[in-house]
Amino acid sequence: MRGLPLDDFKILDDKLREHERYQPPIMIGKNCFFDAAVHIQIAEMTGNRVLKWHLKMNMEHVYLRARVDDYNTERMAKAPVEHRMLLKQMRDKNVLGSVETIRNHIRSDKSYVLDCLSRNGSAAEAYAL
């Protein structure tokens, strides 16, 4: 992991704090916005503009296709906890732990998103992911 500027961690921490604070009892689009902001900031920190662009396009695709009312608030409540764990691992320069956390987060979210999309009739688009 490259030496990241402290500003990158501050920006990520601020975005994560916003996401953690915003946990309404039902899902609304604003949850997705905060979640996407955290993901895009992590991609920004890699310095890989192509990765950031693809992530942004994929997240927009998913959030535009999936109905927010199909989202499980329990799953969305877990996301900031996973993000916080990743931030700590990144700060500690725990590369293996960071990679494992990202893998687990992606796997669980992928399964969850595919389930949401297939429930609301977007199964064909879901499997394109």
The pLDDT profile of the chain, 129 residues, written as one tens digit per residue, is 455 566 888 898 898 888 878 777 666 677 778 888 888 998 998 899 999 999 999 888 877 766 666 676 777 778 888 999 999 999 999 999 999 999 998 888 777 777 776 766 655 554 555
Helical residues (DSSP H) of 66-94, grouped into ranges: 73-91
> What is the reported pLDDT for 1?
43
> What is the reported pLDDT for 101?
94
pTM here is 0.71
> What is the reported pLDDT for 3?
55
C-beta atoms surrounding 41 within 10 Å: 19
Contacts for 19-25 with beta carbons within 8 Å, 24 or more apart?
19/79, 19/80, 19/83, 20/80, 20/84, 23/73, 23/76, 23/77, 23/80, 25/73
Note the residue count of the chain: 129
